[in-house]
Structure 1
Amino acid sequence: MKDNNNYNVLIVGNKGREYALAQRLQQDERVNALYFCLGNGGTQDLGENLECEHYEHIVELALKKQIHLAIISEEELLILGLTEMLEKAGILVFGASKEAARLEASKSYMKAFVKECGIKSASYFETNDLKEALNHIQNASFPLVIKALNKNTSIVHQEEEALKTLEDAFKQNNEPVIIEPFLEGFELSVTALIANDDFILLPFCQNYKRLLEGDNGVNTGGMGAIAPANFFSNELEEKIKNHIFKPALEKFQADNTLFKGVLLAEIVVIEEKGVLEPYLLDFSVRFKDIECQTILPLLESSLLDLCLATAKGELNSLELVFSKEFVMSVALVSRNYPTSSSPKQTLYIDPVDEKKGHLILGEVEQDNGVFESSGGRVIFAIGRGKSLLEARNHAYEIAQKVHFEGMFYRKDIGFKVLDLKEYS
């Protein structure tokens, strides 16, 4: 039976992901009002941006605005327990619990969790001592992956590069550093809706994380993505479901860890004796920016119903329908991304043919109708098409509608699948 209630929805975050969620929720006539903490220059046109001084203030504002559903995608607030605080106030929450959020907050905890679950992942060396780390890399084969804190992942190809990365890591935090062998294969981002002991996989996505064409340069949060990434067998999908997500949920259940939100697995698929095997690279406990923006256009069902069913723990009542189209996203970033901040730049945006796709406003500010960049991944061009090639062409056509000083984007998103001979 269709839910005909009206909802005030609070979206916690300020990136392109929040804009994408709001853009979609706004289309549902049951959404009475949209609020954002803090929101960005784009979300203020979709609802009301609220000034939030601290996480306890968010609860006060949610009660004042009579919020029925909160969607949390800010990792720090999940770790602080905002989900539990809002639920205690009687508000439905689409977001991981404080305990579940540890999976993304600590690389050390994540590796121990994965090992206990029996999930295939790279072997690793863990230490909080620089001398031990340096001794380890002297006997290791390159390339190596060095993980520090929650987001800092570096791929290093020689000892000198590893030394600098390790020295920087130990200067910045007291968390143990993880050193792994680099796993060669094709990568996938797999997003699942989680409602305690139940889960539903969303269309697979391939995120192009490296800054430069040809998968060169430093790691980023994502320079673009394609979906659905359906260039593999059903057998591999079953392995991902049964050997990665099921063991993780069983561990949550065994530990009495509540979880009603998103679990995203970053996976590398490796050929072993002629058989494709998925290895886990990382877990996230929320929608990620590039994946969210790339998957959402495929969803033909109600996003509001998706969030409500998840927050209520009623995934068995959810019937999701996805488009047969393809989607490609391209991140338009500021000059110094991701190594340092760039001066604010005015954005100039030409009209976009909405039949071909749309734009997602990310790290932007708005003053009297004028948009300015306020961070690294400023805006995203989203292209749709009946084929991946058509989606790609539309995404790059839309990217050319945006202009700001120092704008940069990769011109080869999708090359792993399309086997492009040159970039245009």
Structure 2
Amino acid sequence: MENWLVIGGGGREYALAQTLAKAPDRQIYVAPGNVMMNQIPRVKTVAIDEMAFSKLAYFASGHHVQCTVVGPEQPLSAGIVDYFEARDLPIFGPNQQAAQLESSKVFAKQMMQQHHVPTANYREFTDQAAALAYVQTQQPPLVIKANGLAAGKGVIIANTVQAGAEAVQKLMTAGSDKLLIEDYLQGEEFSLFAMVQGTTFITMPIAQDHKRLADGDQGPNTGGMGAYSPVPHINNSLKQAAVDEIIKPILTGMADAGTPFNGFLYAGLIKTPAGIKVIEFNVRMGDPETQVVLPQLQTDLGAVILQLKQGKRPQVQWQQDEFYLGTVVASRDYPRSVVNGRQLPTITDAKVTVSYAGVSQAGSQIVSHGGRVLMVTAHAKDLKAARTAVNGVLDANVDQTAYTFRHDIGFHAID
């Protein structure tokens, strides 16, 4: 048996572990994982925190781990790859310098400017008074971003000058030492993922996620309430334009700067009347997009990672015939507050798959623990059929006094 280690514990890591475990000769360990992962064949959780680098490295060394795959951004931005590589432990992900593409919005913007990667115009501020004065002179809507990591929630779109001022105060009071204030880009958002080793890469099917809490893109921003893939109105020529104008130049620029990128690269993109532009880069797979992208992979994920690490460009097969659509079930008051310890919905319908995130063991029961608890995914020949399957299962099985979810995932392509 070949041992692999996945770091993280959410829905993204559930999908990563499940995909790697499809190989019958492979044992997947997930640290810290979540209790439901132990029900996946050939997957075991390990009670080590994702930030406990020395314990993780000791485990990987002692278990002769073939490769460690890092799910979340925090350990990457804190240098887990550097820590493992210093000990000759194979790991897939960017080192701390390269991870600044996500951990520092300013670094990302500077890299994009230097390498002519299209993105929104912006100004950066370290002084609250100067930022507030700038907001007063601008025409809303404005996009206001905290410089560092914010679990997908450090971005506020302000539709009025007053909302802009409140956003500046909120983010700076919350401890952001630097803000970016950007022009608001109008258009269709989509996600493009690549698996990368330096300037060698393969791309994945396009996905679109849904950040707002409620139907019709209403309510506050969240970590993501659902996703679907592929996206029918982002065709192959648009995808190729994104590769040529964004993925290739940013990877070449990173390599030329002496900070080559390795791992999963997420490009959050928007199709505007002036062409495709970058909203943000992340240095890991997105959650919930991973749960609708990875099930489309027909090649062994572990083999793809190892070939990339050897500097080879793997031949990768993706399914071509169906759409994958998934809806997140979150704690009722998410993202404002979270009530833990709720009974999990029982979902046994064979038409859907369930990936678990915010769950924990309480005595003999497995209960909710966290904001986003699980995700229900279906695949079908058309998106509407996939959504109908998901919604039918959710309406029949989920207590909507305890949980919240959207019914309109995929509406950009369906409605």
State if a TM-score over 0.5 links the two structures: yes
* Contact 1:223/1:330 (<8 A) preserved: yes
Call closer, same or farther: CA 1:195–1:290 in 2, change over 3 Å.
same
Give the Cα–Cα distance (whole angstroms) in 2 for the partners of residues 45 and 294 of structure 1.
Answer: 20
C-alpha displacement of 1:402: 4.1
Give secondary structure in 2 for the equivalent of 1:154.
Answer: strand
Cα distance in 1 for residues equivalent to 2:91 and 2:394: 34
Aligned ranges 1:404-415 → 2 under 5 Å: 404=399, 405-415=401-411
From 365, 369, 386, the equivalent of 1:370 is 365
1:358 aligns with 2:353: yes
| Equivalent residue in structure 2 for 1:240, among 234, 239, 242 | 242
Q: Report the equivalent of 1:39.
A: 33
Separation in 2 of the partners of 1:69 and 1:90? 11
2:47 maps to 1:51? yes
Deviation at 1:367, TM superposition (A): 4.2
Count, aligned residues:
406
Q: Could you tell which deviates more after superposition, 215-224 or 364-373?
A: 364-373
Further displaced range: 75-84 or 379-388? 75-84
Matches within 5 A, 1:192-203: 192-203=194-205
Give 1:3's aligned residue. Answer: none
Out of 171, 176, 184, the residue aligned to residue 182 of structure 1 is: 184
Checking the alignment, whether the CA contact within 8 Å between 2:201 and 2:308 is kept in structure 1 is: no
After superposition, residues 188-337 of structure 1 pair within 5 angstroms as: 188-272=190-274, 277-314=275-312, 316-337=313-334
How far 1:66 sits from its partner (Å)?
Answer: 2.0
Determine what percentage of the aligned residue pairs are the same residue.
Answer: 29
Unaligned runs of 5+ in 1: 1-5, 420-424
Selected match of 2:173 from 171, 174, 177 = 171
TM-score scaled by structure 2? 0.93
Deviation at 1:79, TM superposition (A): 1.7
Q: Secondary structure at the residue paired with 1:126? A: strand
CA distance 1:105–1:371, shift in 2 (3 Å): same
Residue 422 of structure 1 corresponds to none
C-alpha displacement of 1:392: 1.2
Give 1:132's aligned residue: 130
2-structure distance, mates of 1:51, 1:233:
43
Equivalent position SS for 2:118: coil
User: What are the within-5 Å matches in structure 2 for residues 381-420 of structure 1?
Assistant: 381-400=376-395, 402-404=397-399, 405-419=401-415
Deviation larger for 377-386 or 213-222: 213-222
Matched to 1:417, the amino acid is A
Q: Which amino acid aligns with 1:102?
A: Q
- Once the two structures are TM-superposed, the CA of residue 139 in structure 1 deviates from its matched residue by 1.0
Instruction: Answer whether contact 1:7 1:69 (CA < 8 A) is retained.
Output: no
Structure 1 residue matching 2:279: 3-state secondary structure: strand
The alignment status of 1:150 with 2:130, answered yes or no, reads no
Is the 8 Å Cα contact of residues 383 and 393 (structure 1) preserved in structure 2?
no
Q: Are the equivalent residues in 1 in contact too, given 2:341–2:367 (CA < 8 A)?
A: yes
> d(CA) in 2 for partners of 1:344 and 1:103?
36
Distance 2:388 2:167 in 1: 37
1:156 corresponds to which letter in structure 2? A
**Structure 2 CA distance, aligned partners of 1:45 and 1:234?**
37
| Superimposed CA distance per residue, residues 4-48 of structure 1 (whole angstroms, 9 cap, x where no aligned partner) | xx42010000100111111222221121x2211111121233333
Helix, strand or coil for the counterpart of 1:317? coil
**Shift of residue 259, structure 1, vs aligned partner:** 2.6
Tell which deviates more after alignment, 144-153 or 376-385: 144-153
* Offset of residue 401 of structure 1: 5.3
Q: Deviation per CA, 1:352-397, whole angstroms, max 9, x where unpaired?
A: 21xx220010111134662211111100010110111111112222
1:301 alignment partner, SS class: coil
Q: Give the C-alpha shift of residue 64 in structure 1.
A: 1.9
Whole-angstrom distance in 2 between the partners of 1:403 and 1:387 = 24
Take 1:181 and 1:374, find their aligned partners in 2: how far apart are those partners?
A: 37
1:81 alignment counterpart: 79
Is 1:14–2:9 an aligned residue pair? yes
Pairwise CA distance, 1:408: 0.5
2:92 and 2:362 map into 1 onto residues whose CA distance is 31
For the residue of structure 2 that corresponds to 1:42, the secondary structure is helix
Which sections of structure 2, spanning at least 5 residues, go unmatched?
Answer: none
Q: Comparing 176-185 with 360-369, which one deviates more in the overlay?
A: 360-369
Aligned-pair distance for 1:174? 4.2
* Alignment counterpart, residue 141 of structure 1, candidates 139, 151, 158: 139
Query: Which residue identity is paired with 2:336?
Result: T
Secondary structure, in 3 states, of the residue corresponding to 1:400? helix
TM-score, structure 1 normalization: 0.91
**Secondary structure of the corresponding residue to residue 253 of structure 1:** helix
| RMSD between superposed Cα atoms in Å | 1.7
Matched AA of 2:403: M
Please say if residues 12 and 38 of structure 1, whose CA atoms lie closer than 8 Å, have aligned partners that are also in contact: yes
